[in-house]
Amino acid sequence: MGRSIIMNHITSPELLAQINPVNKRLTRDFVSYLRTLQKSEGTISSYTGNLNIAFTWNLMLNDNKSFIDWTKRNVIAFQCWLIDNNKNSPARVKQIKSTLSSLSNYIENILDDEYPNFRNIIIKIESPLSCAVLEKSIFTDEQINDLLDYLTRIGKYDRACAVALARYSGRRKSELLRFKISDFAPDRIICNGSLYKSGLIKTKGHGVNGKMMHCYVVVDKFKPYLDQWLEFRSHIGLKSEWLFPKIGDPTKSLSKSTLTSWADDFTEYLGVDFYWHALRHMCVTSFKKSGLPDSVIQAYIGWSSLDMVSVYSDMEVEDQLSAYFGNSKCTEVRKDEIKFDCLA
């Protein structure tokens, strides 16, 4: 597997069928409500999965009680079970509790005519402290270049293109699948030939349609792998508006599960856990090392907060200091070689 993540599948069709009818209806109605708010199917799927876990635990270890009748003691017991028995990380526990809290808000604010005395008790229970449970994979240029060379050598041009896109755009896994061929047309090149500027792409964020933004890709680094992939597509007669079409149905984009499968193969080749988000870190770190101002990196990735640059940079403190200190004295601040003024 790409990362050593514990995935405990405690639900099953047989167990889900036995869930308290009240909880089934609450889940069904809540999901329908989320769709009226035009939440993404990914968000809805995540909420549904989290509720299935909670209500399966409730079936097995909490007398299959109606969620309406849950007490603070029940919430604490569920939280303890997630950590001690299901071996979930604090972050995962918070995610599941957040779903239960959202359901509680829905009941309290929308179903108040049916349950006038219901209150959200999930927010009353303190969550476990976050801690790092996975060792971060920090890749070198040599490792990723070796992977790209290997994928090109064996004719996996789509995979090489995806890796290069992630490396030189800093986009998330799901966002990689939303690029279209038209996003790399000649008229999409800006900054004196330095960057591709895509059309509006849905990214992670709030709002009816999520956060829609233009995404940038470094031309000279990405274009060789793009050209190889497009040439191969032309050779096999693959026609689709999507950069990475779904196998068997080119009218749709590739699924995230396919990228996950590719990541497993990359892990086997590299001998190090590969996951797509590591390339987002790598993109930010390389810009940081090149001397780009944090404000330019922020604009490139599309963050609303400048603080996110330091969160994603894997640059060592010594590396940052060495840019300005040397020969036992503070050196002159170096001018940035790459400006990307067109992002300002």
Question: pTM higher than 0.85 for the full model?
Answer: no
Q: What is the per-residue pLDDT for 343? A: 64
Does 333 score more than 70 pLDDT?
no
pLDDT cut 70: percent of the chain above it: 85
Q: What is the per-residue pLDDT for 75? A: 97
pLDDT, average across residues 167-178: 96
**Do 13-124 and 141-278 have matching folds?**
no
pLDDT, average across residues 56-78: 97
Q: What is the per-residue pLDDT for 4? A: 46
CATH topology of domain 13-124: DNA polymerase; domain 1 (1.10.150)
pLDDT higher for 337 or 42? 42
Q: What is the per-residue pLDDT for 1? A: 46
Does 132 score more than 80 pLDDT?
no
Q: pLDDT-derived band of residue 150, with 50, 70 and 90 as boundaries?
A: very high
Q: pLDDT-derived band of residue 38, with 50, 70 and 90 as boundaries?
A: confident
Q: What is the mean pLDDT of the chain?
A: 88
CATH of 141-278, one of 1.10.443.10, 1.10.760.10, 3.20.20.150, 1.10.10.10: 1.10.443.10
Tokens representing residue 96 in the block: 């599941």
pLDDT, average across residues 68-80: 97
pLDDT 10s digits, 278-309: 999 999 999 999 989 999 999 999 998 888 99
Domain boundaries, the chain: 13-124, 141-278, 283-343
Q: What is the per-residue pLDDT for 311? A: 86
pLDDT 10s digits, 175-215: 999 999 999 999 999 999 999 999 999 987 544 445 899 99
